[in-house]
Chains A and B, each alone.
Chain A
C-alpha cells in the first residue's frame, strides 16, 4: 500500500518493472535489485517483481537468494507456472551441483592439510561425516553434514572401538586395523592407531569395503600430519 493508504496503481508497478529492465540493460544490476525489492515491498500480491528479481539472482549465481524469493512468490501464487518452472530449474541445477560435488572414490585427492583431507573425504559419494578423536575419546576435529552432537558421538564410537580392541587378545585377532559398524540408519567405519581414532560416517546403501583403500590412505595421512603414533 502507498503512504496515502491506497492500493498502488498497477501502472506504477509496470513503471517500476520497466525501469528495472532499463537498469539491467545498462548493467546497473544493484540498482535494479533495489528497485525490485521496493516493488515487492509495495506490491506484495504481485508476482512480476518476484519473478524478475529471482531471474537476476539466478543470472548472478545467487541461488539461495533466488530460491528464497521464489518460495515467497509460491506462497502468494502456488499455481503460477513461471514460478514453478523457475523453482524446478533451480532444483535441477542443485542436483547437478550435488552430482559434481560427490566424486567417484578413485578421483579424490586428499590434499596436504588435515582440513583438506577431511573436506575431500566429504566429497566422496556416501560419506556424510568424519571425526577424529584421541585415545581417550576427546574430539580433535570433525566435519559432519548431519545435525548431531560431535563430541559425544566421537566418544561413544571410540569407547566401543576400544572395547573391541581390548578384547582382541581373547579373540586372537591380533592388531585391529578397521572396524565397520553397519547400522539401520547408516554405517560407521573406524580406523585406529595407538593414539587416534578416525571415524567415518556413511550413508546406508554404500559398499563400505570399496572405501577401505581411500580411508586407509586418509588415516595414514592424518597420523602423519598430526605427528602421532
Chain B
C-alpha cells in the first residue's frame, strides 16, 4: 500500500475485509475510517448481490472533489481515494500491482 500512497495525488488507501472491518489504512484524510470502510463494503456487497458476482470486480467513482478506486477480491477490498485530477491510468496500474501483492501475502 505504501507505493500506492506515495503516488502524487493519492490521498489515502484502505484495506478492508468483505464485511467492512479495516485491515489496514495509509495516508491522511479526515474521514471517519470505520464509516468509510463500512460504506465501501456495503457498496461492493450490493453490487455483488444484485449482479450476482462473487469477487474480482472494481468500481471507479469520478467525483467533483476526489475520486475513489475500489478493487474487490475474494478476501479483501482495496479502496484508494485520490485527487480528482489524478492520472487514472497510472493509479489503476499501481492499484492492480498492489492488489496482486496483497493477494499473495494474504
Chain A residues at the B interface, C-beta cutoff of 8 Å = 156, 159-160, 163-164, 167-168, 170-184, 209
| B64 interface contact, C-beta 8 A | yes
* Total count of chain B residues near the partner, CB < 8 A: 31
Give the docked Cα–Cα distance between A182 and B53 (Å).
11
| B61 interface contact, C-beta 8 A | yes
Chain B residues at the A interface, C-beta cutoff of 8 Å = 29-32, 35-36, 39, 42-43, 46-47, 50-51, 53, 56-68, 81, 84, 88-89
Partner of B36, one of A159, A171, A184, A209: A171
List the A residue with the shortest CB-CB distance to B88: A209
A-B contact count (CB 8 A): 79
Give the docked Cα–Cα distance between A164 and B47 (Å).
11
- CB B52 to nearest CB in A, in angstroms, measures 10
Beta-carbon contact of A179 and B65 below 8 Å: no
List the B residue with the shortest CB-CB distance to A183: B57
Partner of A170, one of B35, B47, B59, B66: B35
Beta-carbon contact of A160 and B43 below 8 Å: yes
Beta-carbon contact of A173 and B35 below 8 Å: no
Would you give 11 A-B contacts (Cβ < 8 Å), ordered by A? A156-B50, A163-B42, A167-B39, A168-B63, A171-B31, A171-B68, A172-B31, A172-B66, A173-B66, A176-B61, A179-B60
Beta-carbon contact of B64 and A174 below 8 Å: yes
Beta-carbon contact of B59 and A181 below 8 Å: yes
List the A residue with the shortest CB-CB distance to B92: A209
Residues of A within 8 Å of B47, CB to CB, are 160, 181
Partner of B29, one of A172, A181, A184: A172
Interface centre among A159, A173, A175 (most CB of B within 10 A): A173
